[in-house]
Chains A and B, each alone.
Chain A
């Protein structure tokens, strides 16, 4: 009788455990990562245990040292290690892309040891591209983070001068949770940079309708006044 009761307890608790696990599966997974990457992450988590974050951080310490010594290839390798070990950390993707697309790219652009300007340009483009790829991969892990979309927008705008892609990224970032109000305005500026003044004016009007903060409304109104005043000029000439 005692053993039967024990067996019953075991079975009931196991059923409860399975029910909890089924419940946890039915919650939709935000990540669209392929299975291979998800297994890789879990395996790293299991093998490194609690020290996963520390190992990722130690590799990150090397990123800072590589930046100071201008070792761009090693810098990229260390960013790769940190982001693979702990992809949940936004900081690694965000700052890693900044290192690649800004620091490494500008470091190559201004490299006095490289005499060919064409080679310098190619290297600069290479690092900007690496930064873009890193951010796009980071977005796979953090699809709802406005920070990575915002950084990707900056990269398109400042490093690639691709204002349409910048507009798309800023707009996407502005719709994500936690995005500050200035992110939506960046999308408006990106439209202006493309010379699409009618679209920009329409965008600002729409933003004015949806904004509730007085400070934001004030800024948007000023921008609209300026744009409407300048819109008699040919679009490209009205750019600052």
Chain B
């Protein structure tokens, strides 16, 4: 068990080093940071509108750049190993192919976490800098002097701890994206194919729950279409499991329970994806 953990640790550290050396993290992180730094330019709104805008802006930046990072880093990492034949050296060691995939996934997961952490800290810094101006405008627009309770409410709106849950849900979503990109990269011959297919799967993932609901509740849908949607539902990820993050951002629902469903869904998906990816990798001939 200890040796397994050491192998996984070594492989994930190697993956992190490789990603840092390839500058994938910086290439995605720098535009994301620059995007976040434009936030103070949009300050012509009421308190409520401004809070919503700041949350959407910071979370949107984390989400979009996070997804690009997860897909590009995963697609590049495995494709490079295959292209440069590094995979032969790695797999020649006493190491299972699932260990190789898991080590890769852990390394990419760590880099994604690092990126989210940096973007999250910068967002918090921007919130902190905007705070006095925001409270000033809230006090100026209020019809009567604000009570200590009102101030507490305003403070809570800005520094709502539920935002951490939203970030956690976003991270789970990124782990799922890493999972299916890793699965695709075990069969794909080019990283470009993996990147585009992963993006398509990500988009379909947003539509599939509604398609499934439609197929099960509308009688006029043909049996062929119903079965096609069912098969797609089994194989493709359903991104509606991560909508809790949107609800938190809009202030329409925040509970620690929002974690449970996306967490269990991500773990189940990662497990079958890892199993299938291992199988596919074992069937693949790298000579």
Chain A residues near B (Cβ < 8 Å): 3, 6-7, 9-10, 12-14, 16-18, 20-21, 24-25, 29, 35, 38-39, 42-43, 45-47, 49-54, 56-57, 60-61, 64, 88-91, 95
Across the two chains, which residue of chain B brings its CB closest to A52?
Answer: B60
- Whether the Cβ atoms of B272 and A13 lie closer than 8 Å is yes
CB distance from B228 to the nearest CB of A (A): 15
Across the two chains, which residue of chain A brings its CB closest to B173?
Answer: A50
CB distance from A49 to the nearest CB of B (A): 6
Q: Does B127 contact A (CB under 8 A)?
A: no
The residues of B that contact A61 with a CB separation of less than 8 Å are 42, 44-45, 53
| Cα distance, A10 to B206, chains bound together (Å) | 23
Across the two chains, which residue of chain B brings its CB closest to A25?
Answer: B213
Query: Can you list 16 A-B contacts (CB < 8 A)?
Result: A6-B276, A6-B279, A7-B279, A12-B272, A13-B268, A13-B275, A21-B209, A25-B213, A29-B213, A46-B205, A46-B206, A46-B207, A54-B56, A60-B45, A60-B53, A88-B252
| Cα distance, A47 to B59, chains bound together (Å) | 16
Q: Does B62 contact A (CB under 8 A)?
A: yes
CB distance from A200 to the nearest CB of B (A): 28
| Cα distance, A213 to B234, chains bound together (Å) | 52
Known contacts A18-B233, A46-B203, A49-B67; A13/B269 CB under 8 A? yes
The residues of B that contact A38 with a CB separation of less than 8 Å are 210, 214
The residues of B that contact A46 with a CB separation of less than 8 Å are 202-207, 239
The residues of A that contact B278 with a CB separation of less than 8 Å are 6
- Whether the Cβ atoms of B207 and A42 lie closer than 8 Å is yes
Across the two chains, which residue of chain B brings its CB closest to A18?
Answer: B234
Q: Does B171 contact A (CB under 8 A)?
A: no
CB distance from B172 to the nearest CB of A (A): 13
- Whether the Cβ atoms of B49 and A50 lie closer than 8 Å is no
Known contacts A13-B268, A54-B57, A57-B52; A24/B209 CB under 8 A? yes
Beyond A46-B203, A91-B52, 6 extra complex contacts between A and B, CB < 8 Å: A20-B261, A38-B214, A42-B207, A50-B59, A50-B63, A90-B252
Chain B residues near A (Cβ < 8 Å): 42, 44-45, 48-49, 52-53, 55-57, 59-64, 66-67, 202-207, 209-214, 216, 218, 233-234, 238-241, 246-247, 249-250, 252, 261, 264-265, 268-269, 271-272, 275-276, 278-279, 282
Across the two chains, which residue of chain B brings its CB closest to A53?
Answer: B56
CB distance from A237 to the nearest CB of B (A): 32
- Whether the Cβ atoms of A17 and B205 lie closer than 8 Å is no
The residues of A that contact B56 with a CB separation of less than 8 Å are 53-54, 56-57
| Cα distance, A133 to B11, chains bound together (Å) | 59
The residues of B that contact A49 with a CB separation of less than 8 Å are 63-64, 67, 202
Known contacts A49-B67, A64-B45, A91-B49; A3/B275 CB under 8 A? no
| Cα distance, A29 to B278, chains bound together (Å) | 38
CB distance from A87 to the nearest CB of B (A): 10
| Cα distance, A49 to B246, chains bound together (Å) | 11
- Whether the Cβ atoms of B271 and A9 lie closer than 8 Å is yes
The residues of A that contact B52 with a CB separation of less than 8 Å are 53, 57, 89, 91
- Whether the Cβ atoms of B272 and A9 lie closer than 8 Å is yes
The residues of B that contact A24 with a CB separation of less than 8 Å are 209, 238, 240-241, 261
CB distance from B5 to the nearest CB of A (A): 20
Known contacts A17-B269, A45-B206; A50/B261 CB under 8 A? no
The residues of B that contact A13 with a CB separation of less than 8 Å are 268-269, 271-272, 275
The residues of A that contact B233 with a CB separation of less than 8 Å are 18, 21
A10, A21, A88, A89: the one contacting B238 at CB < 8 Å is A21
